[in-house]
Amino acid sequence: MWRKILFNAQNVLQQQQQFKSQTVRQLAAKAAAPKPMQLEQLHIEEAIKLEPALAIYTPDIWQRAHETFQNHGLETVSFLRIVTGNPAVLKRTPERLINSLELWRACQFGEHLLHLLLTKYPELLDVSDAHQLLSLSAYLKSRLTNNKNVWKLLMNSPDLLAQPEHTIEQKLNYMFDIMRIEVPEIVKSAALSLSFEELRCRHTFLFRLGLFKPRALKADPNEPTTNNRLYQITDTSEKSFATKICHVTLPEYEAFKELFARELERKTRKPKDEDEFSDEEDA
């Protein structure tokens, strides 16, 4: 019996030591974990230097907004970037700020990616039309396969929110069907920020120079190509596009743009002229 009691006591003592050890480790981990940085007057003063429009807000308003963002996982540094980029955010009520965050959460990008998006483009917190945002997000997901690709696209082209869906579709169809560009390359570029006319013009110019060859329909998308990457074609000024990508002068590209516009105009006018001629024959 004594052996049994002694054995049980040793077990209890061992368990207590293990529990104590675990507790100490947990406390040490908590002590080592960095505390969230609080908003200080120095931060406010530095932010006002960057954006003088922030000077009209009282410390209480600053603290209220900061607390709202911090409660929703946004650190002080992110908060300061947001308010210097979109000062009007400060005067909004906590309820309105929370509604904006929840609206964007419905896009299901995940907290980390969402915070990166809103920190980079604080003006996105001005979006209030839930139906428009969620409809656009669903449409883009249907074309780009997943939410992360939608996020990547918005990180490069936040102005998509101001574009009609049919305009976005026209550009996507052109890239998929005519240029034969794959999704990963599209979402790494700001191609959708270009107008359809500019996108088509740049591609056509490269094609006619022999500098762009569309992939075969059944080609392996991972197969190397001599084409420039889409971002090199679209995410650059006209001068850089002409001189660095096409290896021509800017005036030469501008002349092509003018001639190409006339060519398209003739093509659109020709069917109308044929219809009018047909009507005259019927009469």
State pLDDT tens for residues 166-191: 999 999 999 999 999 999 999 999 99
Q: Which residue has the higher pLDDT, 179 or 224?
A: 179
Give the span between the Cα atoms of 61 and 56, in whole angstroms.
10
Write the pLDDT tens digit of every residue in 196-206: 999 999 999 99
Instruction: Tell me the average pLDDT of the chain.
Output: 87
Segments making up each domain of the chain, as ranges: 41-126, 164-270
pTM for the model stands at: 0.81
Residue 122, number of CB atoms within 10 A of its CB:
20
| Domain 164-270 = CATH 3.90.1150.10 | no
Length of the chain: 283
Q: What is the dihedral angle through the alpha carbons of 229, 230, 235, 240, rounded to the nearest 10 degrees?
A: 60
Binned at pLDDT 50, 70 and 90, residue 256 comes out as very high
Phi, psi at residue 148, to the nearest 5°?
-65, -35
